Amino acid sequence: MVCLVGGPVAVALLVALFAVGAFVQQVLQVRDDLEAAKDQLKVIAEAAVSMDVPELQRASEDVVTRTQRAHVTSNGVLWDLAAELPEVGNNVLAVRTVAEAVNTITSQSLPPLVDMMSAAGTEERTENSLGIDLRPFLGAETVLPTVISSLEDASAIAANLDRTGVYPAVYEPLDGLVGLIEVAVPTLHLVEDHLPEILRAAGSEGPMLYQLVIQTPAEIRAVGGGPAHWLVLKVENGQAELLGQENGVELMYSELPDRGFDTVNGSLIRLPSETRSLYPFELTNWSSNFTMTPHFPRAVELFQATRKWTGKAEFDGVISIDPVVLAHLIEATGPLTLASGEVVDAENTAALLMSEPYERFGTDNAAMDAFFSEVTTVMFDALTGGDWEIAAMWDQLVRSAEEGRVFVWFEDEGLNALAHEYGLDGALREDNTEATQLGIYFNDYTVGKLNYWLDYSQRASCNVEQRTITVTMDLHSRMSEDIKSEYTLGLRNQFRGIDPRTMMLDVLFFAPPGAEILWTDPERGDWQDSANWQGNRFRDRSGVDHDNTALSRTLLLEMGERRTISYEVQLPEGDLGPLELRHSPGPNHTEVTVDANCGALFASPEGSPNIRLSKIG
C-alpha cells in the first residue's frame, strides 16, 4: 500500500488553484461584460436617434443582461474571499463597486427609456425631416425621475469607494462615470423643472414654426453678424421638419403685387424718435441690417414684420447661431469629409463659412453657392446623425452660449421667460436689478467681409469712490494684401476714397439705465458725412434704447492697424445688479477681463441665471 503523506495538503492546494482559476475567469467575465455593455451603449444612442426601436430593444436588453450578470458575479463567494486578501482586496471591492454603479444606472434607466421610445412610434418621417427625432422626449415626464434617481444612486455608490491601493485602471473608469453623472444630473433636473415648456416648444400642443438664423460676423453686427441665411423649420409632436431655406438677398429684392420690399425710404416698424436717432436708417428696412441693434428681440420684430409684409406666417420662435458655433459643435462630432475629399474640422470651419471660398471661387457664384450648400449639408447631417457623445456636445453648446453666440426668442411668454432666465434672449435690460449691463458693439459699414480678420479683447476697470466704470477694447486688423475678393473688400470704401482693406465700423457705446456716458475715445468719429438721411450712416449719433443711453462713433481701422477704444460711465446711485459686460460676438475668440475692484460696486454674480455674466476679479 502506498502512503500518501501529502494527500490532504495536495487536495487543499488543488482546491485553492481551482478557486483561483474560477475567480480569474469571473474577473475576465465581468471585464468582458462591462466592456461589451459600454460598446452597446453607443449602439443604443445611434438607435435612439434613428428611431430604430427593434435595435434599441435588442441592445438595451443585452446591456441590462451583461451589467446585471457583472453585478451578481462580483458579489459571489469567491469575490468575498478575494476581498479579504492584502494588496488586492481593495481592487476587488473597487471592481465590485464599478459593476454595482453601472448596473444601478442601466437596470433602472434603460427599461423605462426603451418603453418611452417604443411608445413614440416608428412611422416614417417626411422626406425633409431632420435627423434628430424629438418625439420620444414627449413622454419624458414619467421617465426623468427614475433616470435621475438611478444616476444619483450610482454616484452615492461610487462615493463610498475606498481607493487605498486601488489601481488606476480600476478607478479611472469609475471616475469617468462619476464625471458624466455630475454633468448629467443638474442638466436633467433643469429639464425636469422646465419640461412643460420644453414639450410645448417641441410642438406637443400644436405645430411650432421656427427661424434658425445663421449670422455672419465676417460682416459684423451689434448682435452678431449680417443674417445672410436662415432655415425655416416646423416642429410638431416633437418632430422637426425643414420647410425651406431663405437668404437676405432674396428678401431684399423680393416684390409682391402692389407691395415691394422698400429698402430705400420704407421702415418695417416704427421706433421712438430717441431710438431712431441712434441707428442708421437701413436698420429697419433691409434684413442684413436687422441685427444692427444689440437688442435681439428687435431683430426678431423686424423679421416678423417681413413675414407679414410678404404674406407669410409669422414665426413662433427664432434661434440665432453663427459659424463659430458650428465649429464648436464639430469638436463634438469630429472632422467631416466633403465629396472632394476636403476635410472640415473645428479649425477650418469658420474660414470655410466666412472667408476662404470668396478667394477660391472669385465671381463664380454658382460654384460658391454649391460649395456652401455642401458644407452646410454635411454639417447638419453630422449634427443630426447623433454619432457623437452627448456630454461633449452639451459642453460645446454651453460654450457657444457663454460666448454670446446663441440667442433664442419665443412668441410664447412662458418660453420667452425661460430664454431670459438662462441669458439667451439677447435683450437690453431696462433696469439694473438682475444685472448692470454695459457694452461696446460693432456694425460693419463697408458692405464686405473684412471683419473675419478683426481681433479684439475687452476689459473693464472701476473707480469705486467716484462710482465710475471704464470699458476698453483693443482692436487689431489682420487684413493683408493677399485678400483680393470683391466679396470681401469694402464696397462702400471706394465711394469715399478709403482703401478697400480698411475696416469702417459703427461703434456703439451703451450705458446701463440711469447712467451717463462721461466721454468716449475716439471723442468724434473718424468719418463725418453730411447730416442728410443718407449721411446718417457716417456721423456721430446719440440716443436711448430701452432706457439705455448710447453714443455712436464711426471708426476707421486700417490694414494691420492696432487701436484702443474706450468709454467711461457714471453709474447711478443705489444698488446695482451683477456686472454684465457685453460685446458683439466676433469671428474669433474675445478675451474679457474685469478688475477685481469692480466687485465693490456690483452685486456678487453668484446664483445669477445669466450665463453670459462676466466674472469679477
Q: How far apart are CA 298 and CA 294, in angstroms?
A: 9
Q: Are 542 and 277 in contact (CB under 8 A)?
A: yes
Provide block-wise average pLDDT over 10 residues at a time, the chain (617 residues): 51 57 75 79 71 82 85 82 78 82 84 79 54 65 86 84 77 74 80 85 90 94 89 83 73 48 62 92 85 96 88 94 94 92 93 90 83 83 74 87 95 93 94 95 94 97 96 97 90 89 97 98 87 61 96 96 98 94 94 93 57 36
Residue 571 phi, psi dihedral angles, 5° rounding: -75, 150
Residue 207's pLDDT is what? 93
CB atoms closer than 10 angstroms to residue 13: 11
Residue 257's pLDDT is what? 40
Q: How far apart are CA 319 and CA 321, in angstroms?
A: 7
Residue 552 phi, psi dihedral angles, 5° rounding: -120, 135
Q: What is the DSSP letter of 139?
A: G
CB atoms closer than 10 angstroms to residue 462: 23
Q: How far apart are CA 296 and CA 222, in angstroms?
A: 9
Q: Are 557 and 503 in contact (CB under 8 A)?
A: yes
Q: Locate 597 and state its grid cell.
A: 475692484
Which CATH class name applies to 208-399?
Answer: alpha beta
Residue 132's pLDDT is what? 53
Going through 287-342 in order, the beta strands assigned E by DSSP cover 317-321, 336-337
Q: What is the DSSP letter of 512?
A: -
Farthest CA pair distance, the chain: 126
Q: Locate 594 and state its grid cell.
A: 474685469
Q: Locate 431 and state its grid cell.
A: 433696469
CB atoms closer than 10 angstroms to residue 614: 21
End-to-end, the C-alpha distance of the chain in Å comes to: 91
Residue 613's pLDDT is what? 41
| Angle of CA points 489, 491, 492, to nearest 5° | 130
Cα 280 to Cα 275, 534, 546: the distances in Å are 10, 8, 17
Q: How many residues does the chain have?
A: 617
Q: Sketch the domain layout of the chain as residue ranges.
A: 8-120+127-193, 208-399, 431-600
Residue 285's pLDDT is what? 79
Q: Residue 314 contacts by C-beta under 8 Å, 6 or more apart in sequence? A: 209, 304, 307, 308, 411
Helix (H) or strand (E) holding 545: strand 541-545
Is the bond preceding residue 145 a cis peptide, omega within 30 degrees? no
Per DSSP, what are the bridge partners of residue 472? 459, 566
Q: Label residue 339 exposed, middle or buried (CB < 10 Å: 0-12, 13-18, 19+).
A: exposed
Q: Are 405 and 325 in contact (CB under 8 A)?
A: yes
Q: How would you classify the pairing of strands 436-444 and 579-583? A: parallel
Residue 255's pLDDT is what? 45
| Angle of CA points 499, 503, 506, to nearest 5° | 130
Q: Are 453 and 588 in contact (CB under 8 A)?
A: no
Please report, as a single letter, which amino acid is at residue 228.
Answer: A
Cα 559 to Cα 240, 349, 362, 453, 467: the distances in Å are 44, 24, 21, 9, 37
CA quadruple 603, 606, 610, 615: dihedral, nearest 10: 80
Residue 587's pLDDT is what? 93
Q: Nearest Cα to 514, choosing from 431, 612, 406?
A: 431
